[in-house]
Amino acid sequence: MVDNDVDGNNVDLKAKPSLLILDAGAQYGKLVVRKVRELNIHSKILLLNTSAKEIVWFQA
């Protein structure tokens, strides 16, 4: 099922939301990921020096 968001972009309503966290060394990264996953949101931690190409790939 597809709908439009407020900007008129197509949005797949069945797509599971996701969150990418860039780890800068803080001690809370894994806690944040765990809590977000409990909300049924796909989440992943990547290193701070992750390339933009990899980040864009995560969005696809």
Per-residue model confidence as pLDDT tens for the chain (60 residues)? 455 555 566 656 456 788 899 999 888 888 998 999 899 888 889 999 999 998 888 775
Is the Cα dihedral 1, 42, 54, 26 positive or negative? positive
> Is 8 among the domain residues?
no
Q: Are strands 2-4 and 10-12 parallel, antiparallel or unpaired?
A: antiparallel
> Is 26 among the domain residues?
yes
Domain that holds residue 20: 16-59
pTM: 0.60
Q: Hey, what are 36's tokens? A: 């977000």
Q: What is the number of other CB atoms lying within 10 angstroms of the CB of residue 3?
A: 9
Number of domains in the chain: 1
Write phi, then psi, for 46 (nearest 5 degrees): -125, 155
> Is 35 among the domain residues?
yes
> Is 4 among the domain residues?
no
> Is 28 among the domain residues?
yes
> Is 37 among the domain residues?
yes
> Is 36 among the domain residues?
yes
> Is 1 among the domain residues?
no
Q: Hey, what are 41's tokens? A: 């949101």
